[in-house]
Structure 1
Amino acid sequence: MKERVLRRPLAGKALPRQWVRVIETCCLTVLGFLLSQATVFDSLAPFGIAFAASVPKGRVNIFVAAGVAMGTIVPGGAGQPLRYLAALATVLAIQWIFGPFKRMVRHPAYAPISAFIAMAATGAALLPVYGTGISSLLSVGAESLLCGGSAFFFAVSLRILWEGRRITTLSRQELCSVVVSAAAILVALSRLDIAGISVGRILAVLMVLLAAFYGRESCGSIAGVATGLIMSLSSADMSHLGGAYAIGGLMAGLFSPLNRLASALAFIVSNGIVAVRVGGSPAVYAGLFEVMIASVLFILFPADWGASLRKVLDPKVTAIPVTEGLRKSVVMRLQFASKSLGEISQSVDAASKKLRKMTTPNLDTTFSQATDRVCRNCGLSMFCWGPACYDTQNAVNDFTSILRKNGHIERSDIPAYFSKRCCHVDEFLREINASYRDYAVREAAERRVAEVRGAVVDQFEGMADMIGELADQLEEAQSFDQPCANRVAEVLSEFNLPPADVSCLLDRFERMTVTAVVTGYDMQSVSLRKLTQAVGEACDRVFELPGVASVRDQTRLTFCQQAVYRLSIGCAQRSYQDGPLCGDSCESFFDGQGRAILMISDGMGSGGRAAVEGAMTTSLLGQLIKAGFGFDNSLGVVNSALMCKSRDEALSTLDVACFDLYTGHLQLMKAGAPLTLIRKNGKVLSCDTASLPVGILRDISFEHSEIRLREGDIILMVSDGAICSGTDWMEAELTAAGQFTAQQLAERIVEQARLRRLDGKDDDITALVGIVKKGV
């Protein structure tokens, strides 16, 4: 965890790390002292032990333990100091034993379990002394559970503190943990009183009023229940505070839309009713005075200070502000940006064509300059380019085809009539050859520049199309479910995945797609199945496992509703001569929009270079599809990337199958790829279209085919190395597939392709199989 730095608000300079640690240690030690002084049921003090357990080893836990021990020993705190000191020693022993196991220490259940064990073990040890009756057992059990639960809330609050998070980023669960932790501290402060008026209870009432006013009745009820429960446990005389604070928080929240005075009066009246029902005792009257003092402080509370509280507490403010008007505005801006990029592409293309005409080297001009340098000082120049101009020009024109073919001309290539008349033949040959070499170099450079210009034009055009496609997708969206988005954000926070953004989108078929961008995603520590189940419960729907796409430190999770079909996928490969690298690359994934994507790319040739080209093709296309872009626009980007990758020609075939898990619609897209076989209703169909591979020409597009599949149908995609011995045997294999799994069938196809090749040659072989099955 990164070291946080405290800043002086006026000077703006960071405090040294040593001072940060000193301040942090002092604050935690004081908290340990105060919490160990907080008692419930008059003599039980579990909060200090819970706080010590929530501070992991290495986080100044020795100093915290010292503060807890001091609070335990000082009179007025725990009724059995030796027992709590023993529990504290047990907690330290547990931390020392299990401290090296970092994964265990970071688990949310570590602190509650260690606190519960320490309190239960020491309580059980004293049962023979104080009796083993039902009341003693219940007392030990209740205190142990309270200690474990408090440790959980303290651990959550401390994690928020050490991460340096703002209050506006907290989820409801984290906010409740902070409220409970603050209430426990206020129990200790409730012992400070002036003429029977408790400072801690005044602050507790103020906290409930603030929560009710800025968070309405929901937050007011949460704060009232949490603080009232803990305060009522502190003493038998305060048992009425649980109901008083809970009802008061609810009523203050209901009257909060009016103004602060109405909210405060509602809280006072609610507590007055409870006081009348309980009866007039000094503690009850003191409680009413405390409520009045807290109400005055609440009315005088600065409005500017409550802005951050309103952002995190008010459900209307925390809802993601996506409205129909905002959606239309975003769509219009995306469409305008798409058109602007399209015009830029056209302008760059037009300018490059004009520059090409101006800068492209001309062979006639090259020959003219060469002959001028040789003939300008020759005495026969007037004759050669006068009466004999026709013969001289014909000889020079004949040099063009020879130079194009051989790259140079020799004396034997010169016509006899020209060599007999010209007195500078050798010098003429040198000039012509040198000029042609310069011309060839400039022509190659200009050709490469033209390719780069073309690639730039294609990139601008591709970006325009991709942005336009995003605008169309957003315009087709029917509605956004904001309450679901807020609930999903809370679920992600519970899984320690702080959400940067959450969207719950309903399409025109009322199918929901949940998209969340999170930070700190760790595949090892998060169960996607449990996370999917929790997200489904939050949205009251059943979702598929999410599609996962990571960029730098952020990860996008896309959940789609459970589909009608599912696709069982199997892939098998064999490299050329069983080498370590395969020139074919295959990939399969679910794009998070209810579609299964299968891809095969065959790089040019075999071995390492072919492997790089094939892997680059599938990787780039997969990333773009996962990002939400269409196939045709993504193909243009991949094609431009391959053309600009190196000076050498880099080409790959591309075979893509997109299966819609909701409708059974299969879309096949090919760019230079071999045929695809499909078994539909027991019959084998072949899809073979003529197309060009990517990486050669600028204007490359997919050849599309479509078909609708049902349960039991099979998709078979192969590379060209599998079809060298024909496809009849593959059709027979598909017909007799029987009970083969997708993986078994793919492996069988590859093995049979290897055995059936009899021409003595070898190639990379890849088979990708998809079997349609029922979704539920």
Structure 2
Amino acid sequence: MKNSSDIIGLSFADRFLGRLRSYSDILSYLGVGVLSFLLSDSVLFYQIAPFGVAICAAVRGDHTFAAVLGAVLGTLAAPALPFKMKYIAAILIVGAVKWALSGKGRLQRSRVISALLSGLAIGITGMAVSFVGGVPQTYQLVLCLSEVLLAGGSTYFFARTLSVLDRQDAVPLRQSDLSCVVIAFGLLVVALCPLGVGEVSLGRIVAVLVVLTCALKAGEAGGSIGGVTAGVACALSDTAYAFMMGSFGFGGLMAGVFSSFGRFGCAAALVVVNGVATALAALVQPVTLAPVVEVFIASVIFVLLPQSLFQKLTLSASGLQTMSADSVKNIILGRLYHTKKAIGDVAVITQQVANRLQECLKPITDINAAAAERVCRSCPQRGDCWQQNFNDTSSALNDMQSRLRQGKLLTLECMPEPLRTVCRDPQELLFALTSCYNEQRRQEAQYSKSAQLRSIVLDQWGGIERLISDISSEITRIAVQDEQTCLRVREYLSRRGIRTRSLSCYEDEGGHIVIELGLFPSLSKNLDKTELTFDFGEICDRDFDLPEVSERDDLLVLTFYERPGYKLSYGVSQISASGKKLCGDSFKYLEEHGGSSYAILSDGMGNGSLAAIDSSMATALISRLAEAGVGLEATLKLVNSAMLIKSGDESLATVDICSTDLYRGSVTLYKAGAAPSYLRKGGKVGYVESSSLPAGILNSVEFEKTSLQLSAGDIIVLVSDGVTQTGEEWVLDELERFGSENMQALCERIATLAKLRRSEVHDDDITVFAMMLHEAA
């Protein structure tokens, strides 16, 4: 009889855990058996299930019996597994060979031998089954070879993972060990996904818990890796949940971003991302609420778990070297690239699925034929109506369709006498004709609405894809982290007694230094920003502009950009259409931001208040996104989607943007349906015109982009189409003759002349926005 010890004087939890440790061997056998049972029930592509064989080959020798027993029972219990005897035979082969190798420690512990053993066992049984019905086809041989490779690879990953779990020390994981653990976790999720209550899956709940834990303990990287792995595993278990590859991957990333707010922040971020992704997926395919419920359940469990569990779970960094800034930058760029590609693939797949679904639908195209199919199919007199008198019958039904299109009801009196006399059930024919007509109208309305929603969603996906691409480009422009400058700035701030929460000093691709300080708001009230700017210039031997001030959560962020070599002077003049209080044009000028400035001009459809609303919405959205650093191509896609869904009425606005790089003196003109822009460059005048469409009229609107290199004294003029209704030559003449540097005077003169030249037929709003480039003092 085996003796056991009791634990006195401790809490119930400690005593219970102590008692469990005394039965650790029994629990390990039980755990291996349950794991083998679950993995043997994991079927990929409805045909192959090599994971039960793989886990039997991967476990330690003393766990072989438990693994074989669990795998055999799991294979027998698998409802959707074909050729069960093939897998049972392979499991028994693995068990027999491992029993024969017992006592030969080196061979028994070899992961390569284990991988070869499982692959060989699956290959032998698979080929035997393939040859039962004669010579196998090429497809069967390829499938068998694929299963052999999958069995061998899975065995190796399982063996590496089990060896990691058996470790008693705190040695940090190598990258290869971590990769094997991640893959093994994914396979376990595939096995657990079929288990649950109704459509709520235990496997996906476990997956969400792991993703949240990775995000909490390892930040953005851990959340992204865990989310991508869990999403792929859920998609492999059921293709209906393929959208989880994106929602879990991006959700894990966002959970890592919000990990500084603790468990609640991680859970809230993943719940929001998953909810949005599920709603978007529901626009193109039937989706249940199961993913939302699963993430909610897992998040509640995650928040309610004892804090002590997470305190014990630490990622040891001993013996590891800190990654360089370039390594971190490359990892982030790689993640962003794959995320951008995944979002682009989602948009493509969404469109492809929508096209296939449309092909599968069978809309009513011929109302007369559909009505006749319902009423006349079993009528013995159908030959009289649809063969001998086909033209008369068709003409009568077409006339009644015309009444329906006019919104009138069909009565017996509107049916021609010959047809009413011959028809056995004229009332039923009228009812069928009305029903088929209404059904066709409903289908047309539904298709039109679905197509519009799909186009908006695809445009938004395109905007998000472009946004991620812009973020990648922005990170790429951060050429190097300037550690020496950062150290000098930190020492200076320490001497001044200025406490910072964060400090970054880096150079962009043009070699311009950027310094970013994160301060407590209470400490920044008495801070002399002018003195700080001057002192940073002395430290870095550069000239800086006064800092841009922004708020980020509970921090006040000061960003110091190196002073550009150029500056802009500008002017603007507006004249409303005759009899209108509001101008339908809207403009916005964004002052220097990181060496760039933006002039934005939008012309709403028509004139007056409705046009003013459209143009103001466009300029407000563009300016807000541009201030946040969003690229202009991504901005246009997002603004276009917003205008498409703003109201049911037609709503459009032209977009004209002049982006100026004040470091290099170059400008880029972005036009979407906008009027020509005029320039005077080196004393010569010209204009840039566009044939693109305005925002809000169609999906997938694109900018036409033109880049120019300017010099000091060159002028750019943006105008609305109220200026160009009477031609362009007179504007070029005025621009060529203008001899002052007063841009306001130039704008007022062009606007006044445009008003005098316009006619009553072409009475439109007038806006002129002019800029001149100067060398900075």
TM-score (norm 2): 0.52
Shift of the 492–352 alpha-carbon distance from structure 1 to 2, 3 Å rule, reads farther
Instruction: For residues 128-162 of structure 1, give each alpha carbon's deviation from its aligned partner in whole angstroms, at most 9, with x where no partner exists.
Output: xxxxxxxxxxxxxxxxxxxxxxxxxxxxxxxxxxx
- 1:353 is aligned to 355
Shift of the 494–477 alpha-carbon distance from structure 1 to 2, 3 Å rule, reads same
- 1:661 is aligned to 662
- 2:647 is aligned to 646
Instruction: For residues 309-330 of structure 1, give each alpha carbon's deviation from its aligned partner in whole angstroms, at most 9, with x where no partner exists.
Output: xxxxxxxxxxx98622222221
* Cα contact 1:583–1:764 (8 A) shared by 2: yes
Distance across 2 between alignment mates of 1:388 and 1:519: 89
- 2:51 is aligned to none
Q: Secondary structure in 2 aligned to 1:513?
A: strand
Q: Is 1:338 matched with 2:328?
A: no
* Cα contact 2:404–2:434 (8 A) shared by 1: no
* Cα contact 2:376–2:382 (8 A) shared by 1: yes
Which one-letter code corresponds to 2:342 in the other structure?
Answer: S
- 2:566 is aligned to 565
Instruction: For residues 551-601 of structure 1, give each alpha carbon's deviation from its aligned partner in whole angstroms, at most 9, with x where no partner exists.
Output: 777666543322221111222223334644322111111463322211111
Distance across 1 between alignment mates of 2:713 and 2:655: 26
- 1:754 is aligned to 755
Which one-letter code corresponds to 1:644 in the other structure?
Answer: I
Which one-letter code corresponds to 1:680 in the other structure?
Answer: K
| Residues 234-245 of structure 1 mapped to structure 2, 5 A cutoff | none
- 2:693 is aligned to 692
| Residues 434-513 of structure 1 mapped to structure 2, 5 A cutoff | 435-485=436-486, 501-513=502-514
Distance across 2 between alignment mates of 1:331 and 1:346: 22
* Cα contact 1:665–1:706 (8 A) shared by 2: yes
Shift of the 396–537 alpha-carbon distance from structure 1 to 2, 3 Å rule, reads farther
* Cα contact 1:399–1:409 (8 A) shared by 2: no
Shift of the 576–343 alpha-carbon distance from structure 1 to 2, 3 Å rule, reads same
| Residues 315-714 of structure 1 mapped to structure 2, 5 A cutoff | 323-359=325-361, 361-364=363-366, 366-373=367-374, 375=376, 380-389=381-390, 392-393=393-394, 428=429, 431-433=432-434, 435-485=436-486, 501-516=502-517, 520=521, 532-547=533-548, 557-577=558-578, 579-590=580-591, 592-714=593-715
Shift of the 755–410 alpha-carbon distance from structure 1 to 2, 3 Å rule, reads farther
| Residues 56-75 of structure 1 mapped to structure 2, 5 A cutoff | none
Which one-letter code corresponds to 2:344 in the other structure?
Answer: G
| Residues 183-194 of structure 1 mapped to structure 2, 5 A cutoff | none
Instruction: For residues 134-193 of structure 1, give each alpha carbon's deviation from its aligned partner in whole angstroms, at most 9, with x where no partner exists.
Output: xxxxxxxxxxxxxxxxxxxxxxxxxxxxxxxxxxxxxxxxxxxxxxxxxxxxxxxxxxxx
Distance across 2 between alignment mates of 1:455 and 1:594: 34
Shift of the 417–617 alpha-carbon distance from structure 1 to 2, 3 Å rule, reads farther
Q: Secondary structure in 1 aligned to 2:633?
A: helix
Instruction: For residues 250-293 of structure 1, give each alpha carbon's deviation from its aligned partner in whole angstroms, at most 9, with x where no partner exists.
Output: xxxxxxxxxxxxxxxxxxxxxxxxxxxxxxxxxxxxxxxxxxxx
Which one-letter code corresponds to 1:611 in the other structure?
Answer: A
In the TM superposition, what is the alpha-carbon distance from 1:382 to its structure 2 partner?
4.5
Distance across 1 between alignment mates of 2:497 and 2:407: 68
* Cα contact 1:584–1:602 (8 A) shared by 2: yes
* Cα contact 2:410–2:434 (8 A) shared by 1: no
Query: Which moved further from structure 2: 621-630 or 632-641?
Result: 621-630
In the TM superposition, what is the alpha-carbon distance from 1:669 to its structure 2 partner?
1.4
Which one-letter code corresponds to 1:324 in the other structure?
Answer: D
Instruction: For residues 82-114 of structure 1, give each alpha carbon's deviation from its aligned partner in whole angstroms, at most 9, with x where no partner exists.
Output: xxxxxxxxxxxxxxxxxxxxxxxxxxxxxxxxx
Instruction: For residues 589-632 of structure 1, give each alpha carbon's deviation from its aligned partner in whole angstroms, at most 9, with x where no partner exists.
Output: 14633222111111222233322221221222223223333222
* Cα contact 1:666–1:707 (8 A) shared by 2: yes
Distance across 1 between alignment mates of 2:490 and 2:455: 45
Distance across 2 between alignment mates of 1:374 and 1:459: 46
Shift of the 574–344 alpha-carbon distance from structure 1 to 2, 3 Å rule, reads same
Distance across 1 between alignment mates of 2:572 and 2:528: 25
Distance across 1 between alignment mates of 2:603 and 2:622: 14
- 1:305 is aligned to none
Which one-letter code corresponds to 1:362 in the other structure?
Answer: I
Distance across 2 between alignment mates of 1:398 and 1:505: 76
In the TM superposition, what is the alpha-carbon distance from 1:408 to its structure 2 partner?
6.9
Q: Secondary structure in 2 aligned to 1:576?
A: coil
* Cα contact 1:591–1:625 (8 A) shared by 2: no
Q: Secondary structure in 2 aligned to 1:691?
A: coil
Shift of the 573–425 alpha-carbon distance from structure 1 to 2, 3 Å rule, reads farther
Shift of the 497–399 alpha-carbon distance from structure 1 to 2, 3 Å rule, reads farther
| Residues 5-404 of structure 1 mapped to structure 2, 5 A cutoff | 323-359=325-361, 361-364=363-366, 366-373=367-374, 375=376, 380-389=381-390, 392-393=393-394
Distance across 1 between alignment mates of 2:393 and 2:496: 86
TM-score (norm 1): 0.52
* Cα contact 1:657–1:667 (8 A) shared by 2: yes
Gaps of 5+ in 1: 1-319
- 2:726 is aligned to 725
In the TM superposition, what is the alpha-carbon distance from 1:403 to its structure 2 partner?
8.3
Shift of the 761–345 alpha-carbon distance from structure 1 to 2, 3 Å rule, reads closer
In the TM superposition, what is the alpha-carbon distance from 1:697 to its structure 2 partner?
1.6
Q: Secondary structure in 2 aligned to 1:346?
A: helix
- 1:741 is aligned to 742
Distance across 1 between alignment mates of 2:404 and 2:660: 51
Query: Which moved further from structure 2: 634-643 or 409-418?
Result: 409-418
Gaps of 5+ in 2: 1-321
Instruction: For residues 357-395 of structure 1, give each alpha carbon's deviation from its aligned partner in whole angstroms, at most 9, with x where no partner exists.
Output: 34574333x544434455468674342235445654576
* Cα contact 2:741–2:772 (8 A) shared by 1: no
Distance across 1 between alignment mates of 2:576 and 2:569: 24
In the TM superposition, what is the alpha-carbon distance from 1:500 to its structure 2 partner?
5.4
Q: Secondary structure in 2 aligned to 1:634?
A: helix
* Cα contact 1:497–1:520 (8 A) shared by 2: no
Shift of the 648–483 alpha-carbon distance from structure 1 to 2, 3 Å rule, reads farther
Which one-letter code corresponds to 2:639 in the other structure?
Answer: V
* Cα contact 1:750–1:767 (8 A) shared by 2: yes
Which one-letter code corresponds to 1:684 in the other structure?
Answer: V
Distance across 1 between alignment mates of 2:337 and 2:673: 32
Shift of the 372–636 alpha-carbon distance from structure 1 to 2, 3 Å rule, reads same
Q: Secondary structure in 2 aligned to 1:645?
A: coil
Distance across 2 between alignment mates of 1:521 and 1:729: 57
Distance across 2 between alignment mates of 1:769 and 1:522: 41
In the TM superposition, what is the alpha-carbon distance from 1:475 to its structure 2 partner?
3.0
* Cα contact 2:684–2:736 (8 A) shared by 1: yes
* Cα contact 2:725–2:762 (8 A) shared by 1: no
Shift of the 510–351 alpha-carbon distance from structure 1 to 2, 3 Å rule, reads same
- How many residues align? The count is 455
Shift of the 613–679 alpha-carbon distance from structure 1 to 2, 3 Å rule, reads same
Distance across 1 between alignment mates of 2:764 and 2:520: 43
Q: Secondary structure in 2 aligned to 1:352?
A: helix
Instruction: For residues 522-556 of structure 1, give each alpha carbon's deviation from its aligned partner in whole angstroms, at most 9, with x where no partner exists.
Output: 99998865664454345332123455666777666
In the TM superposition, what is the alpha-carbon distance from 1:771 to its structure 2 partner?
0.7
| Identical aligned residues as a percent | 33
In the TM superposition, what is the alpha-carbon distance from 1:480 to its structure 2 partner?
1.1
Shift of the 731–496 alpha-carbon distance from structure 1 to 2, 3 Å rule, reads farther
Shift of the 429–324 alpha-carbon distance from structure 1 to 2, 3 Å rule, reads same
In the TM superposition, what is the alpha-carbon distance from 1:353 to its structure 2 partner?
2.0
Instruction: For residues 689-730 of structure 1, give each alpha carbon's deviation from its aligned partner in whole angstroms, at most 9, with x where no partner exists.
Output: 211111122221111222221111111001112222333332
Query: Which moved further from structure 2: 744-753 or 511-520?
Result: 511-520
Distance across 1 between alignment mates of 2:522 and 2:418: 82
